[in-house]
Chains A and B, each alone.
Chain A
Amino acid sequence: MTLEVDNVTSGYVKEVSILRDVNVVAKEGALTGIIGPNGAGKSTLLKTIYGYLRPTQGDVLHHGKSIKGLKPDQMLGQGIAHLIQGHSVFPAMTVEENLELGGWIIKHDRTALDRALAEVYEHYPILKNKRRMVAGAMSGGEQRTLEIARLTMTQPRTILIDEPSVGLMPKLVDTVYEEIVKLKELGYTILIVDQKVHKAVDVADYIYVLRLGQNSHHGPKEEFVDTIEDIIKEWI
């Protein structure tokens, strides 16, 4: 059990809880998908895990250790990376500078940083070719590749992915999901939230359905293949 959300209640202001008693477990090396209608609290859940919001009740555990109350900038140090919604490259910096900043927490260890850089270039040859280019000048798909590659610089154990398909044209969505599957094959534990339910169910090993800030269904993907359409209909 890599990442464990244990009975968490959370929200943006004290009086209003968006999530109530939510339980989610992301198993090691698996891709766990969180789906649900608009306003189900999916993004709030990721924000709570990553320390933007502090749970008012319950706990968040990573490899058995509580990460509740840590700030977002301390999470990567705990081995949790986060791909935020929308574009997140540093557009006026070169590809290599972007990647080096991905290794910010290991910046004092130049050999480790160089090794990480070499590994990324091996997995993503396109980035090696364009390493001197400013990231903002690359195509949208290449920028997403850079964002994903940048997450792996410190070899975190768990990666949270928030709405990877938002604002992308359909062709790019496929590319992004290919990259995400590749991350899983590299052994990362992944927790993903996406509006594009079919896409998420497609790649996930285990699914959680949230509704109105609470757990609704959960189970291995196989259990959802047949019922997913019914579940989506329920939302409408």
Chain B
Amino acid sequence: MEFSIFVQLIVLGLVRGSMYALMGVGLSLIFGIMEIVNFAHGELFMIGCYIMYFVAAMLGLPFPVGILASGIGLLIVGVILEKGLISTLRKKAGREWLMDSFVLTIGLMVIFQNLALIIFGAVQRGIPNLVYGQMVIGDVVFIYDHMVILSFALLTVGLLWYFVKYTSMGKAIRATSQHSEAAQTLGIDVSRMYSIAFGIGAALAGIAGALLITLFPANPNAGMGPVLKSFVVVILGGLGNIKGAIAAGIFVGLLEAFAVFFLAGGWQNVIVFSIVIAVLVFKPAGLFAPAGERP
């Protein structure tokens, strides 16, 4: 294989992978702390697409404003959903919580999709590009849009990593996800941590939706493809494992880029889901779970 093709595939893989990481990290953060699988994660992505479209295409503001608006908008939506519905249900449900949370988030998925259909119609609303043009170095093509996606995704994941790892709020969120009862006895308001974590997870989905608007135009079903990929990332990375989700996201992105090049289109899904099944059977804690340690 020519070196330039190899580099090109790496670049394409990183672009895809950074997005998968962004979606997966949000889902994983939510699962890690609350132990709920957020089936409506794709619809949060979809809302992010619409906010981006509204800000960048309709208001004509610069695209970074759209990304920021999507992030903040979904943060608010996430906190409201958690405080209004999820925490209310958790208090009522007790031990049946897991099943109830499935029904709740699947219900949210259906409601959001149909609300979007009623309000915006079955029309795709896209933006052709965020930054027009491309640059060629050697034989490798760098599409500016891809570079924008990659850099914003890495920046967002980096900021999240810093937040979770080094700030006291981030540490409290990790503590709550590792042992919520102990966290509570130390004075940490765990229900507040749940709201913040869900809000941040939603914001990450929103930012992903905003960044990908050139590839996934805003439409009521825009989130269905990306959410499937984020479940893949979360399973490969280990449920609730943030570091694992980042690594798995990049891994899946690279794998797909190479699979698409060497095999016919469509095979990338066969390979990825075969790996998912193998991981579920042989290494259910995920490919990137440290031995003997909980996420």
- Interface of A toward B, CB cutoff 8 Å: 50, 72-77, 81-84, 87-93, 97, 100-102, 104-105, 107, 134, 136-137, 147, 150, 154
When C-beta atoms are compared, the residue in chain B nearest to A136 turns out to be B293
Query: Which residues of chain A are within 8 angstroms of B179 by Cβ–Cβ distance?
Result: 87-91
Complex Cα gap A100–B188 (Å): 12
Complex Cα gap A83–B184 (Å): 11
Query: Which residues of chain B are within 8 angstroms of A92 by Cβ–Cβ distance?
Result: 174, 178, 293-295
B139 an interface residue at 8 Å Cβ cutoff?
A: no
For the residues of A in contact with B, the DSSP-based class is helix
Q: A88-B181, A88-B182, A100-B171 are in contact. Are A73 and B293 (CB under 8 A)?
A: no
Complex Cα gap A150–B295 (Å): 21
Question: How far in angstroms is the closest Cβ of chain B from A191?
Answer: 14
Query: Which residues of chain B are within 8 angstroms of A73 by Cβ–Cβ distance?
Result: 184-185, 187-190
Question: How far in angstroms is the closest Cβ of chain A from B288?
Answer: 13
Complex Cα gap A199–B235 (Å): 46
Query: Which residues of chain A are within 8 angstroms of B186 by Cβ–Cβ distance?
Result: 76, 101-102, 104-105, 150
B183 an interface residue at 8 Å Cβ cutoff?
A: yes
- The 8 closest A-B CB pairs, nearest first, are A88-B182, A105-B187, A76-B187, A90-B178, A82-B185, A90-B175, A72-B184, A73-B184
Question: How far in angstroms is the closest Cβ of chain A from B174?
Answer: 6
**Cross-interface CB contact of B172 among A76, A88, A101, cutoff 8 Å:** A101
When C-beta atoms are compared, the residue in chain A nearest to B185 turns out to be A82
Contact A97 B184 (CB under 8 A): no
Residue from A72, A89, A147 whose CB has the most chain B CB atoms within 10 Å: A72
Question: How far in angstroms is the closest Cβ of chain B from A97?
Answer: 6
Known pairs A88-B181, A104-B168 / 18 extra A-B pairs, C-beta < 8 Å: A73-B184, A82-B185, A83-B185, A84-B185, A88-B182, A88-B185, A89-B182, A90-B175, A91-B294, A92-B174, A92-B293, A93-B171, A93-B175, A101-B188, A104-B172, A136-B292, A137-B292, A137-B293
When C-beta atoms are compared, the residue in chain B nearest to A76 turns out to be B187
When C-beta atoms are compared, the residue in chain A nearest to B181 turns out to be A84
When C-beta atoms are compared, the residue in chain B nearest to A82 turns out to be B185
Query: Which residues of chain B are within 8 angstroms of A87 by Cβ–Cβ distance?
Result: 179
Contact A101 B175 (CB under 8 A): yes
- Identify which of residues 143-180 in chain B touch chain A, using a CB-to-CB cut-off of 8 Å: 168, 171-172, 174-175, 178-179
Question: How far in angstroms is the closest Cβ of chain B from A154?
Answer: 8
**Cross-interface CB contact of A104 among B174, B181, B188, B295, cutoff 8 Å:** B188
- Identify which of residues 182-209 in chain B touch chain A, using a CB-to-CB cut-off of 8 Å: 182-190
Complex Cα gap A72–B188 (Å): 9
Query: Which residues of chain B are within 8 angstroms of A102 by Cβ–Cβ distance?
Result: 186
Complex Cα gap A76–B185 (Å): 7
**Cross-interface CB contact of A90 among B182, B185, B292, cutoff 8 Å:** B182
Query: Which residues of chain B are within 8 angstroms of A101 by Cβ–Cβ distance?
Result: 171-172, 175, 183, 186, 188
Query: Which residues of chain B are within 8 angstroms of A82 by Cβ–Cβ distance?
Result: 185
Complex Cα gap A81–B168 (Å): 20
Contact A93 B168 (CB under 8 A): no
When C-beta atoms are compared, the residue in chain B nearest to A80 turns out to be B185
Contact B171 A97 (CB under 8 A): yes
Complex Cα gap A121–B184 (Å): 24
Provide 14 A-B residue pairs closer than 8 Å at the C-beta atoms, listed in order of the A residue: A72-B185, A75-B185, A76-B187, A84-B181, A88-B185, A90-B175, A90-B183, A91-B293, A91-B294, A92-B295, A104-B168, A104-B188, A105-B187, A147-B182
